[in-house]
Amino acid sequence: MTSQPPSPPPQPEQPAEAVPTCYRHPDKETWVRCQRCDRPICPDCMRDAAVGFQCPECVAEGNRGLPQAKSVFGGGVVRTPFVTYAILVINVLVFGAQYLTGDEVTLQLAMWPNGVAMLDEYYRLISAAFVHGSVFHILFNCWALYVVGPYLERAFGHVRYVALYLVSALGGSVLGLWLDPLNQPTVGASGAIFGLFGAVFVVGRRLNMDVRGIAALIAINLVITFVVSGISWTGHIGGLITGSLLGGALAYAPKSNRTLWQMLTIAAALVVLAVLVVVRTSAIIGAA
């Protein structure tokens, strides 16, 4: 009988190497790591870097100190003029509501000096710019907005552009408040559109572009304004003056502290128009 050497004790199994998963998407396996923070990232999270890939957070951190691109006159770069498209949609929706309710929406939103002065319905000064009197009326204004709106929105950025549009509309309504008969309601975005026309002319001059086309368009529409009956010349002229002045102030603002100057200009325009509204409504109430 021979003795056998004792068997060696069983060795513990070596655990398989764990497969790393993306730190943002734990269900996705990956062997790629961010070159900056060394966290695993999946293809959806990979951002090209000078060497290898980086994660979205590291890319954002690296870009934080870089200067942001600006539009021609200081606003953020506009790739899609969604403010123009939003205004177009609002105009169409309001016109649809006018069609469905008869005169109800028109009477509630139209610019009416008596309503502003006697009933303190100051919203009419802006709401009237989204109401139209006929299919031709809304088609022309929407076409004009579609043509010139994106150009100005890209030149000024979203915020400055919407300020230009609304302040121009307000300027047209304020002139109507002063000069239109008290019992005459007016509607339409024409004041804002003429303001954009004036701003396009001023911006074109500022950039040394050929402005004869927009000058001819303004002249033709002014002739139509005074020749064709039923058109609110006050809205057109008020919007044209306001848009031209405000557009010029925004375009010619000094590059040093440009944003500050532009915001002060917009605020000053609103103050002037508000004072004109207060003075005129006080006069109407006093004469009643």
User: Among all residues, which ones are annotated catalytic?
Assistant: 190, 236
C-alpha distance from residue 198 to each of 91, 112, 202, 213 (Å): 21, 25, 6, 12
Tokens matching residue 10? 């069983």
Residue type at 188?
Answer: G
Phi-psi region of 94 (alpha: psi -120 to 50; beta: other; left: phi over 0): alpha
> Two tokens at 143?
């076409």
Residue with tokens 């008596």: 114
- The helix (H) or strand (E) run that includes residue 229 is none
Beta carbons within 8 Å of 259's beta carbon, 6+ residues apart:
74
CA neighbor of 245 nearest in space, from 193, 189, 187, 203 = 203
DSSP type of residue 103: T
| Cα–Cα distance, 23 to 75 (Å, whole number) | 36
Cα separation of 239 and 136, whole Å? 20
**Among residues 193, 205, 217, 192, which one has the least CA distance to residue 248?**
205
Question: Do residues 66 and 117 make contact, with C-beta atoms less than 8 angstroms apart?
Answer: no
CA–CA separation, 268 and 166 (whole Å):
14
